[in-house]
Chains A and B, each alone.
Chain A
Amino acid sequence: MDRPDDREPLVEIEGLRKLFDQSQGIVDTVLGREPQPVRAVDGVSLDIYPGDTVGIAGESGCGKTTLGKLLVKLYEPTEGTIRFDGDDVTDMTREDERQFRKRVQMIFQDPFESLNPRMTVYDTVSEPLKINEMVDGYDERRSRVKQVLEDVGLGPAEVYLDAFPDELSGGERQRVAIARALVVDPDFVVCDEPVSMLDVSIRAGVLNLMQDLQDEYDLTYLFISHDLSLIRYMCDRAGIMYLGNMVEQGPTDDVIDDPKHPYTEALFDAVPDVELGDDRRRANATGEVPSPRNPPSGCRYHPRCAHIIPPEDWGGSQAAFRRAFQFKLKVQRGELDAEAASDDGDPVESLVEQGLTLDVPEEYRSEREIETGGHRTDAASLDLPSDARTALDEAAEALLDGDQDAAVAALDEVVTTPCASRKPRPLPSGTREVACHRYEDGDANTGAIGGSNGGLNAAPAED
């Protein structure tokens, strides 16, 4: 999608931040603990242009639904601004808000929850009209509702007007929900996983309908989905979120065909291929998503990243550094201790080899890891610099003595990464913006990563 520069963005999001649960109990206050809010959305900037369909993807808990709800003013942002058509939505007069409510609507994920079971289809769809006093008189309201119902493919509308939601199928319900959003003739519609609760067989129908309606009603969509094929099918632009951060955004085709951020790469690798015979590639990322209450420092993704950047004076390979860094993380988390050392052979050696293993799908493991079921790896075959090797041994010895702090201190000197110390800023890279340290110094190593010698793991899951 080429975008002429003279077009004004419809929605401008700047440094948006939403923290939940900032209050704390009296015990925590007395003990002087810092509140640890959930950082659902943490510094997102995004422009949405009129007529575009923007997709937001990410695994569950990455804050994409929160972002959507912030955009329709269901939540108030903790920090940052949202401007809709030039006006700041966080600071609106009553009259402005009425106008805003007419122009911005939302379609929710679950049509079985989003329709009031006690209200007929007519009551549900006509409610926004009544609230906003948009149509006078019962007859006109009724004809407007009928027209919208027919537009969303519920015709003849007479049949549906007096039906209750429990008399309708899932697809029909979602169409009613779409009709409710469109009845006020909005400009901007946030769709939160609009088809994820529907049967696969009717998804395409609803999606095509939404595309047709976009032309008819002149809509701008924000699609929130964990389903990347849906994003590819529907959206002109895509944004990838991880732990409240927007890690990459740009034209959908570019983002999908040539993902730049390691997380995007992992996300797309995790999508199963339909073609038979093609082995499913699983993504190359270690461990689980960290808690949004206490996200990692620097780049949020660095503990799981396959392309983690070694320090400048690192003598060995990047792969070796990744393993060494995993060792450090395991020590920090207390996952590695003296008890884990096996009885046979040198306990230090055994502990080091165990710490250097990667928690990744089988195709990315070393031979020794597969042999031992992921418990050991061959330290000798790794391209570890000698000072790192010494540090690892030292740390393992400290662990055997039960001194975790000393172990961490031993590693702190050698195994450090710029990814953990600085937060990457979203920087333009080609057609899009990527928030990754690897793209900060120009595009020197762009080509090298495009080849993708291994995806990262991040199974897209239900939100």
Chain B
Amino acid sequence: MATGQGDTESDGESYTRRWEPRLERLKRGWSRYSEHNIGILGLVILGIFSLWAVVPGVFAPHSTDWVAYLGEPPIESRLTAEQVRSLPHPPAFGDPFFAPLGTNANGNGILSLVIYSASNAMYIGLAAGLLSSLVGVPLGLISGFYGDTWIDEAIQRFVDIMYGLPFLPFLIVLVAIRGITTTNIIIGIAVTSWLNNCITIRGETLSLKERSYVESAKVAGASDTRIIFRHIMPNVLPISFVFLAQDAAGAVITQASLAYLGLADFTANSWGIMLENIKSQGYIFDAWWWLLPPGIALMLMAASFYFIGFSMEDVTNPQR
């Protein structure tokens, strides 16, 4: 066949032409994504949370160390007994201080705490979701592609064993050994959540590898790696997006419940820890302004991951 040696100039040219159709496809993808308002909504919510996570100072009225009546640190004076009795303070707009969502029992502004906690939730959600996808999807692909061989058997038996691992005791042991840090929580969540990923992707791969386009790629001489990643993986991406969203949402909620149980790093700002504090300090039925915001934020974050996953399924699925 031809022996082409394009000089650098035409290389650059061909490069642009080569990428043009892909840009076109990206645009088409976006129009498909935006067909669903729910996807846009998810993206907007996630966008706001991301901004909160990156530049919380712009949105929060105070820092996390702000104390009602006394203001920002350095704090020289102390609260009077009467002031302490008024805490947690319901929402106040300038009189005697500005705290649109009120304060907690320590006098910290709820709105500021919620905004500063976003980074923690984002970190956990994305890290745990990506980690479990990065482990589960490739293992599922390999297990499915080599279905009914010792490779598949080994992976599936390992998954079975991991399924036997009880989540809470495992996490307690992990935290006891390695200390209460956010990283450990992420590891703990990822270790248990990649299993579903792996099994679903394996099933999907088992059916996809029988398609005749896989056979025709084999006839053309394609290697196993090429078949797995070029022909099968694009077809399992829709489900893996759904799982990514699900795992991310699950991780955020799990971290909150672990914080509630005292298994998460309590010095970090986290919606879950806020909820744990309100419980331990006994204000659940008295301070709605303290109870509701972290709960709603959690719900919105989980929902946004689901919404995005739902719309991404449409983008990556060419059937419609």
A127 touching B235 by the CB < 8 A rule? Answer: no
0/1 interface trace, chain B 205-217, chain A, CB 8 Å (1 if under): 0000001110111
0/1 interface trace, chain B 193-224, chain A, CB 8 Å (1 if under): 00000000000000000011101111111110
From 261 to 299 in chain A, residues with beta carbon under 8 angstroms from any chain B beta carbon are: none
A135 touching B2 by the CB < 8 A rule? Answer: yes
A108 to B211 Cα, complex, angstroms:
11
B219 touching A116 by the CB < 8 A rule? Answer: no
B212 touching A138 by the CB < 8 A rule? Answer: no
A120 touching B21 by the CB < 8 A rule? Answer: yes
A185 to B231 Cα, complex, angstroms:
23
Instruction: Say whether, besides A110-B212, A117-B318, A166-B318, A128 and B220 are in contact (CB < 8 Å).
Output: yes
Provide 21 A-B residue pairs closer than 8 Å at the C-beta atoms, listed in order of the A residue: A72-B219, A73-B219, A113-B212, A114-B213, A116-B234, A116-B235, A117-B318, A117-B319, A118-B235, A120-B21, A127-B217, A131-B220, A132-B220, A132-B221, A136-B3, A137-B4, A138-B14, A139-B14, A180-B216, A180-B220, A184-B220
Chain A contributes a number of interface residues (CB within 8 A of B) equal to 44
Q: Nearest A residue to B234 by beta-carbon distance?
A: A118
A414 to B290 Cα, complex, angstroms:
98
B21 touching A116 by the CB < 8 A rule? Answer: no
Chain B contributes a number of interface residues (CB within 8 A of A) equal to 32
Contact of A166 among B15, B230, B319 (CB under 8 A): B319
From 69 to 118 in chain A, residues with beta carbon under 8 angstroms from any chain B beta carbon are: 69, 72-74, 97-98, 101-102, 104-106, 108-110, 113-118
Least CB distance, B147 to chain A, in whole angstroms: 14
B221 touching A98 by the CB < 8 A rule? Answer: yes
B3 touching A115 by the CB < 8 A rule? Answer: no
B21 touching A118 by the CB < 8 A rule? Answer: no
A110 to B216 Cα, complex, angstroms:
12
A161 to B235 Cα, complex, angstroms:
21
Interface residues of A (CB under 8 A from B): 69, 72-74, 97-98, 101-102, 104-106, 108-110, 113-120, 122, 127-129, 131-132, 134-140, 144, 161-162, 164, 166, 177, 180, 184-185
Least CB distance, A64 to chain B, in whole angstroms: 16
A134 to B3 Cα, complex, angstroms:
9
From 87 to 113 in chain B, residues with beta carbon under 8 angstroms from any chain A beta carbon are: none
0/1 interface trace, chain B 4-47, chain A, CB 8 Å (1 if under): 11100010001101100100100000000000000000000000
Contact of A116 among B18, B24, B221, B231 (CB under 8 A): B231
A98 to B5 Cα, complex, angstroms:
23
Q: Nearest A residue to B18 by beta-carbon distance?
A: A138
Instruction: Say whether, besides A101-B220, A131-B226, A140 and B24 are in contact (CB < 8 Å).
Output: no
Q: Nearest A residue to B231 by beta-carbon distance?
A: A116
B213 touching A116 by the CB < 8 A rule? Answer: yes
A289 to B249 Cα, complex, angstroms:
56
18 extra interchain contacts, Cβ-Cβ under 8 A, other than A97-B221, A113-B213, A128-B220? A101-B221, A106-B216, A108-B215, A115-B213, A118-B235, A118-B318, A127-B222, A131-B223, A135-B4, A137-B4, A138-B17, A139-B6, A139-B10, A140-B4, A162-B21, A164-B318, A180-B216, A185-B1
Instruction: Say whether, besides A113-B213, A116-B231, A131 and B221 are in contact (CB < 8 Å).
Output: yes
From 246 to 292 in chain B, residues with beta carbon under 8 angstroms from any chain A beta carbon are: none
